[in-house]
Amino acid sequence: MNNRYEFLYLFDCTDANPNGDPDAGNLPRLDPETGQGLVTDVMLKRKVRNFIQLTKSDQPGKDIYIKEKAILNNQHARAYTALDKDPKKAKQPERDEAKEWMCKNFYDIRTFGAVMTTDVNCGQVRGPVQFSFARSIDRIVTAEHAVTRMAVTTEKEAEKQSGDNRTMGRKFTVPYGLYKCQGFVNPFLAQQTGFSDEDLELLFTSLENAFQFDQSAARPAGSMNPRALIVFKHPNDLGKAPSHKLLEGVSVTRKDGIEVPRAFSDYQITIPDELRQFCSDNDIEIIERL
């Protein structure tokens, strides 16, 4: 890969919990000073990993390192077994070989990086692709819903639960929020990890389908949707403009007369003519994928 990239990713949430905070009773995350909703970069990387694991994991080089119930030392041991090396006797050259094997075989390592300096040491990889936290364009309001439990676990609980005396629970949702995330692809690190143009295309495809196979009680079908993916492709590895000049140049605003947004159609996404002209003058390609 010889090109620098920045991208802007927008997705929305309707009557769902986009990213609950386990330290706050699974309430949707928010900025306490502005009231804007937050979604962590870790959540977005998880969606990418899940999509690739579901659709591509049987293909060479598309395995996923961080997945449910994965034992990382066992993952590392695969590299030494494939290289016919003893991890207990490994010095730096052997560790470098193991790191290269891990990058080659695990998509998320060569994309996002990984710290693999555990008992079975495969080194550390700094990933070329990074996401920011996603932040909602406007303030969000957390809706709290009481739910009742019909079934119980034990006979003792059944004796206590009768009539209206049922166990109560809570669900939290965001009535509506449009979230914006910024991303960056470092071509220098991509060359180190082997992250290719094919991998980049798969990353963008994953973002376009991030919520397609991720439905759950907290995020039912149609409640979370990708809305825009705007990519800036530079003509070289150094790039022709600062990231913020491109990413902050895209305008995301509420349409006139909308007091409380409740749909994506309440917003207007605009790439101003002056930004398009600037990109044209500097050979920066604007790719609108959604």
Q: What is the mean pLDDT of residues 244-257?
A: 96
Q: Is 152 inside any structural domain?
A: no
Q: What is the mean pLDDT of residues 4-26?
A: 95
Q: Is 159 inside any structural domain?
A: no
pLDDT at residue 30, rounded to an integer: 94
> Please, which pLDDT band fits residue 166 given cuts at 50, 70 and 90?
low
Q: Are 63 and 101 in contact (CB under 8 A)?
A: no
Q: Is 50 inside any structural domain?
A: no
pLDDT above 70: residue 109: yes
- Overall domain count for the chain: 1
Cα-only R_g, the chain: 23
Q: Is 279 inside any structural domain?
A: yes
Q: Is 79 inside any structural domain?
A: no
Domain hosting residue 10, numbered range: 5-42+127-139+172-288
Q: What is the mean pLDDT of residues 3-25?
A: 95
Q: Rounded to 5 degrees, what are φ and ψ at 191?
A: -65, -30
Q: Is 106 inside any structural domain?
A: no
Q: Is 146 inside any structural domain?
A: no
SS3 at position 281: helix
Q: Is 185 inside any structural domain?
A: yes
Amino acid 245 reads: K
pLDDT at residue 153, rounded to an integer: 76
Q: How buried is residue 71: exposed, middle or buried, by Cβ count under 10 Å (0-12/13-18/19+)?
A: exposed
Mean pLDDT (the chain, rounded): 94
How much is the pTM?
0.92
